[in-house]
Amino acid sequence: MRGIVSPKLTDFLALVNSNIALAKQNNVQFTPAILRENLNKLGALMSDSPSVSYIADKAFTLTDRAIPVRVYSPAPEQPLPVLVHFHGGGHMCGSVALYDPICRHLASIVQCVVISVEYRLAPEYPYPAGLDDCEHALIHYAELLDDVNHQDSVTIIGDSAGGAICTSLSMKSLTDKQIKIDQQILIYPSVDYTLSSPSLDSNGTGFLLETPRIKWYFEQYLQLSESLSKQQIEQVKQASPLLGPINAHLPKTLIFTAGCDPLRDEGIAYANALTAAGVEVEHHAFDGMIHAYMLLHDLVKEECMATYQHIVAFMAKA
């Protein structure tokens, strides 16, 4: 069923759809540079950026690379919960800088330490490079909090591709005891790389994120050919958290879906699968919202603030 979008987004989507139509008319092809520039433009719609008393850019130093992170704390002397944040962007776009206003809101509203991870992006660094960076940050996060008081529990949070990273790490935690996750918070997550969900058809055009772009993201991230080989088909299935092992040992989960999102149905399916397996799940559906609504704060402030408040309530139950 196609979603019915909020009137708050009508003018924004009219402009977006006009630009998409013009690009198609001029046969403009997807490139990492174009898509990164387009996503970064949404930063202009997050003008509300609260101050946070402690913000520091740090990095994990490995033998072959560094993994930059930005640490936020509203009260570095207090033992606050830890949120490890993985940004969205189709595994190809997004950055700590773009998501800075969101992380500031999380730190100040939720009253927690936020660690925002600058993981490597495809196609320069395809799967599983970015996932490996996020796994390292999750396992070793405390090493960068020597001057920030914090609790020992850790919650992971991500939107879209960041949600894919969260659920992938949760899936891996079932067999890798180094990975400790107390809770996961998923905002319109991508959990199925097979592109099987009905909402990819019903919501796949006209709502900012369109199905052809999702397919292209996945091709770059997983290094897929146009015609998938049997080996690639199996790789796509194995990488998809919705199709992987799901049991009661997965972490307690808070999940948000958007009614006009092509990824809506796979998010709902993941929530239902966790519930059926005995995982404690809280699901909130924002029916009039589109994918990436958290990046549109100035247009849908009420919905964004409601999302933060649901996170507050969820964290308070830990």
Catalytic center residues: 160, 261, 291
Q: In what order do the strands lie in the sheet with 252-258?
A: 54-61, 66-73, 113-117, 80-86, 150-159, 183-187, 252-258, 281-286
- On whether the CB atoms of residues 154 and 181 are closer than 8 A, the answer is yes
d(CA 30, CA 24): 10
- On whether the CB atoms of residues 253 and 167 are closer than 8 A, the answer is no
Q: What is the DSSP letter of 251?
A: P
3-state helix, strand, coil in the chain (%, to 5): 40, 20, 40
**DSSP E strand stretches across the chain:** 54-61, 66-73, 80-86, 113-117, 150-159, 183-187, 252-258, 281-286
d(CA 145, CA 134): 16
Handedness of CA 302, 304, 308, 311 (dihedral sign): positive
